Amino acid sequence: MSKFRIEGNLENVRVKIEGQAKNLDSFMQRVAYKAAEIIEKKANELVPVDTGKLKGGIKVTVTKTDTGYLIVLSNKVEYGVYTEYGCITINSGSPNAPAKIKHGYSPWARPAMLEAVRYVKDELTKFLKD
């Protein structure tokens, strides 16, 4: 059986732990807002532009939760999901005409989020090393 003893001023230990908790919250907040900036910037760079409606609809929000921060990338433009993931369109014209199938997509949301994930991972690694 192993035993250990903690001696000394435990108040100093408590203060140090509480200080780290405050540092963690400010770190998480700073990183969450920076990640949101990265997502918004990259999404705006990558989104396909025809009328500008899709680009103008990009919205990134940061919300503090009980366990951390939630970052949401949204766009209410109805065809945004189709530009991200693609679609299949069948235009037959008449019942006897052959079907035309198109595939088209231009990812803009997922690459933006992946860039932010890499940033968060790098920042977390640095924080844990300090």
Segment 71-83, tens digit of pLDDT: 999 999 988 888 8
* Counts of helices then strands in the chain (DSSP H, E): 4, 4
User: CA 92 to CA 99: how far, in whole Å?
Assistant: 4
- pLDDT tens across 31-57, in order? 999 999 999 999 999 998 989 999 999
Find out whether 70 and 60 touch, Cβ atoms under 8 Å. no
Q: Is the pTM of this model over 0.85?
A: no
CB atoms within 10 A of CB 128: 7
Closest CA to 107 of 82, 90, 77: 82
Q: Who has greater pLDDT, 54 or 130?
A: 54
Q: For residues 48 and 96, give the distance between their C-alpha atoms in angstroms, rounded to a whole number.
A: 34
